Every structure is written in structure tokens, then in C-alpha cells.
Amino acid sequence: MAKRKNFGVKNFFFSLAAVCLSFYIFQNFNGSVETMIAENGNLEDVIKADGVVVKDEEVYNATTDGSVTYYYEDGAKIKAGQLVADLNTDAAASDISRQIAEIQAVIDLKKISSDTPVQNTAVQQENLVSFESEIQSCILNNELGSMYNIVGQATNITDTLTYKGDYGQYDTAQLEAMKANLMTGISTHKVPYYSGKAGIISYKLDGLENEYLFENVLDLTPSGTARKDYSVSDKSQSAEVSANEGIYKIIRNFDYYIAATVDNDKAKLFEENKYIKTRVLSDGQQHEVWGYIKKINYGSEQSVLILYFDDYFYKIYDKRYVNLELITDIYEGLKINAKSLTQLNGLTGVYVQDASNIIKFFPVEIIGKDEEYVIIDPGQYVGDNERKVINIGDKVYSTVKIFDKVILEPENVYDGEIAD
């Protein structure tokens, strides 16, 4: 008896397999192939570096214990000779008398003509000490009238002492104003503080102002730029100060340096007396500025690029250590994802889904790349409504154009396939 064949079961399995295959094809092609739009963009070649900000800064210290009254906000621009703070203390009389004596001496010096005979320096010093003592005695005895007379008599002192302290840089009008403020401050026990130069005032002191000196910046070596432990103290938040404690600093607000430390193999990519586009990163913020490579100091393993800047100082005046990105090159063209690249017939290119949903392969010329993206040559114009072309060897190929839909999974498609 012949064995009956079970066609029904076979047909069921064939039908099931066909359905599964169709579902697989649909899932892996219709909507499952990821794409991106080719658009204009750029990439950068970047060298990262640690940077030390070196500023032309001067710290002003309290001459005695007391409390400080500040007259400007942190970061404010000020002129030379401006009153920036008062130190309030009951012990200010002796310091005030010393400042009055020094200021008056400088005023006298500025009034002396160039042909005045030079007097004995020791006698001049003795006159100045006597003058200061008499003023202090008047203050202690509350004889303010006599004190003003003594100050007036000081104009007869015709010494030729070298200008001392911070007073020699001021003109006579500024010195007279300072002296008047000091005299007024005697009864209120205030010691005024003036800006020694024009610049930006800052109350944020980090204790490293004398570690990185502006005049020595060109001598910085890799060991000298190593990050030091430090803490920033905002003096405007602390009213009480001690003698010799820094209370503010003035920073000249146009010129500054950043000493950038890089490995020696990276340092060789740079040249002295050239400009470099620099991205400065600090406290979650960044800005770009052109720096001038003033000098390169080579070490055994690392080197220091001394970069000079004269812009954007307001963004960095209160910083000491920053991170840098030195931009050595910029590539511009069409930007696509690197994973879209594939090979076909010995050519590097991508698959593009055109307006008719046909998958086509187009060769590309890579002009820049990073770990995620590539910049490709947009090609040469050949005519309206025509794709631009690139030259590879001695042949000309149509290439990717802007707004093309580029396939990001080239292993899942083939040239000529119809996407639906």
C-alpha cells in the first residue's frame, strides 16, 4: 500500500518560512537602515595642553591691622592714581604721617629745577625724619593746626632724594590730592590706597602672584609650569585684615601670557613668531583667541609654548590654570559620519539613497577626519543640475552632494538596490 505524502504540513512550513523571510527583509531594509544628511561642516586638528596664565599684576598689602572699605567691583577698570580702598584702624596715625612725609618730599622733588645744587643726602634724610616726627607728635597731641603748618613748611625742603615707593610715578596734582585725602583721614583713622597703574582691580588673590612673574615668563620651563597647590581668597568678602596681608591687586589689562605645556613630539609642530588659534577652557566655559608663539622652551620630554595674547583678558583675569586646545588646522567641506565609509571596486565611498529610493555608490575624497566624522571634498562644479565631480588618479567620478541621504550601515545594502 502506497504511503500517503503529508503535503499539508510541508506547505505550512514553506509558507511560514516565506513569511519569516519577508518579515526579516522588511525589518532589515524598510526603515531599519540608518541614514544621515550630508551637510556643510568642518573639523579641526587639535592639540590639548595645560596652561598657566601669567599676568602683569601687583599685590597691594595692608600696612597695619584693620578693616577695609572697597570702592570698586572686582574686575572693574581703573585709572592710575585712583582711590580704590580705605583701611580703617585706630593705629593708622603713624602710617599716615609717614605717607604724608613721603608724598610731600616727592612733591618737592618735582618742583626742583634741574640746575638746583645737589645737597648732602644725609642731611636730606635727617630733615625728612625730623619732618615726619613733628607731624606724628602733632597728631598724638591732637594739634591739627600745627600739623598743617609743618606740612606747609615742608616745601622748603629741597632735597634730591630718589623717588621712593609708589609715589614717583604720579604727577604733582595727583600727589596733592593724595596728601589732602591723607590729612582728612587723620581724624577718621583711615589709610587710603591708590592704584599704582591703570588696569583691572581684583580682590581674588591665589598666592601665586610672585610665583609666575610677568617679567620672567619667557624663562618658564616644563618643571616651572607644573600645577601648584593653591586656593583663591576673595578679599572683598573679608572685612578684617592683618598687617602685610594682601588686600587687592591691579592687573594691567591688555597684555598677558599663557604658558602651554605639550609633549615634545607635539611641540615640533609649532614655530616661534607664528600665530595659533587657541581655545581656552575654564570653569565650564570656553572662548577662542589668537595667540602669538613668543618662544618655545624645550625640555627632555615636554616643552613649553609661551603664548602672548592681547585680547579677551576680561574672560581670564581671575584665572591661573586653564585647559587649552591649540587648533593647528581646520578642514571644511561636507561632513558625514565615518561609519558610512565603505569600499567598492577599490574605491572609498558611501552609499546614498536617492530621490527614487535607489541605493547608489559614490566615491569620496577625504580631506579631514576625527574619531567620529570625516570631511569630504564637495567636488568641482560641472553644470546646473549635475553632481559635482572629484578626481581620483586619472579618472573623474561623481561624488556626494549636499543634502544627500547617506547610508550609515553600508554592510546592509548594495549598489543598485531599491529601498521601499
The tens digit of pLDDT for each residue in 18-39 reads 555 554 444 444 455 899 999 9
Return the higher-pLDDT residue of 138 and 67. 67
Please answer whether residues 209 and 57 qualify as being in contact, where contact means their C-beta atoms are separated by less than 8 angstroms. Answer: yes
pLDDT score of 14 more than 70:
no
pLDDT score of 316 more than 80:
yes
- For 34: left if phi > 0, alpha if psi spans -120 to 50, otherwise beta; the answer is beta
- Scan for cell 604658558, then name that residue: 259
Q: Indicate the residue type of 221.
A: T
pLDDT of residue 8: 54
Mean pLDDT, residues 265-276: 96
pLDDT score of 365 more than 80:
yes
pLDDT score of 264 more than 70:
yes
Q: Which grid cell is 167?
A: 609715589
Residues 6+ apart with CB under 8 A from 101: 128, 131, 132, 135, 154
**β-pair partners for 47:** 326
pLDDT of residue 158: 41
Mean pLDDT, residues 195-202: 92
Residue 353: CB atoms within 10 Å: 19
Residue 368: CB atoms within 10 Å: 20
pLDDT of residue 220: 97
59, containing H or E segment: strand 39-61
Instruction: Compute the distance between CA of residue 206 and CA of residue 195 in angstroms, rounded to an integer.
Output: 19
- Helix, strand or coil, per DSSP, at residue 363: strand
**pTM assigned to the model:** 0.67
Query: What is each CA distance from 95 to 28, 60, 135, in whole angstroms?
Result: 86, 15, 11
pLDDT band (50, 70, 90) for residue 238: confident
Mean pLDDT, residues 283-310: 96
Instruction: Compute the distance between CA of residue 386 and CA of residue 361 in angstroms, rounded to an integer.
Output: 16
Mean pLDDT for all residues in the chain = 83
**What percentage of the chain reaches a pLDDT higher than 90?**
60
pLDDT band (50, 70, 90) for residue 279: very high
Please answer whether residues 322 and 279 qualify as being in contact, where contact means their C-beta atoms are separated by less than 8 angstroms. Answer: no
Instruction: Compute the distance between CA of residue 112 and CA of residue 25 in angstroms, rounded to an integer.
Output: 101
pLDDT band (50, 70, 90) for residue 104: confident
pLDDT score of 321 more than 80:
yes
pLDDT of residue 205: 96
pLDDT score of 115 more than 50:
no
pLDDT band (50, 70, 90) for residue 113: very low
**What percentage of the chain reaches a pLDDT higher than 70?**
76
Instruction: Compute the distance between CA of residue 188 and CA of residue 185 in angstroms, rounded to an integer.
Output: 5
